[in-house]
Structure 1
């Protein structure tokens, strides 16, 4: 949960007045760790909240992904990710969302034996 800038500034002002961090945390209902973190950020000049995050979610161009998989059906996820400029986990989720299976299933020995028996 992000606390308002006013709350953060008030906590730091109380600290400058001589109150202990434990007293401030009880007065304002925030954890002592939050107050410690705020004081460190204030010393760096970064007290303001950095929300919302500046980066968006990782997106994959679905058409580009489908085209690459069609051209390179045996490519590993790492190779696909490098080719389309994404991370492996992002590619994995995109493939799952698009219902493109990447599993290569080998026939079991038993199935091969049954197949061969019918030919003989």
Structure 2
């Protein structure tokens, strides 16, 4: 639940006047944890920028070419060629919609 900034300001003023966290919480009808958090961080900070991830190590074209060239290889064999782990190969296959050959 989001509270208005003027309520936050009033709560912080009561704390400066000497009220305890619990007294202030009861006075304004909010949980004492909220008051304690506001005391620690009076006003919200700006949101963190989105995390910039490095490009994928496994491209769709390279993985598709590898599946066509070596259709019966296990995930760990493909992972050794790409320099990553078998779960990474599995996730890439799922992400790109490439299904592995099933044995008869």
**TM-score normalised to structure 1 length:** 0.47
Q: RMSD in angstroms over aligned alpha carbons?
A: 4.0
Measure the CA separation in 2 of the matches of 1:8 and 1:78.
52
The runs of at least 4 aligned residues of structure 1 exceeding 4 Å deviation read 57-62
- The CA deviation string for residues 24-78 of structure 1, in whole angstroms up to 9 with x for no partner, is 212323221121122122xxxxx32236x3333777878x731342355512798
1:70 pairs with 2:64:
yes
Measure the CA separation in 2 of the matches of 1:19 and 1:71.
69
- The CA deviation string for residues 86-115 of structure 1, in whole angstroms up to 9 with x for no partner, is xx6xx94x75454335x787x6xxx7xxxx
In structure 1, runs of 5+ residues without a counterpart are 42-46, 81-87, 112-120
Matched ranges for 1:9-28 at <5 A: 9-28=9-28
**Contact (CA 8 Å) 1:11, 1:24: kept in 2 or not?**
yes
Larger helix fraction of residues: 1
1:39 pairs with 2:33:
no
**TM-score normalised to structure 2 length:** 0.52
1:79 pairs with 2:84:
yes
Equivalences, count: 89
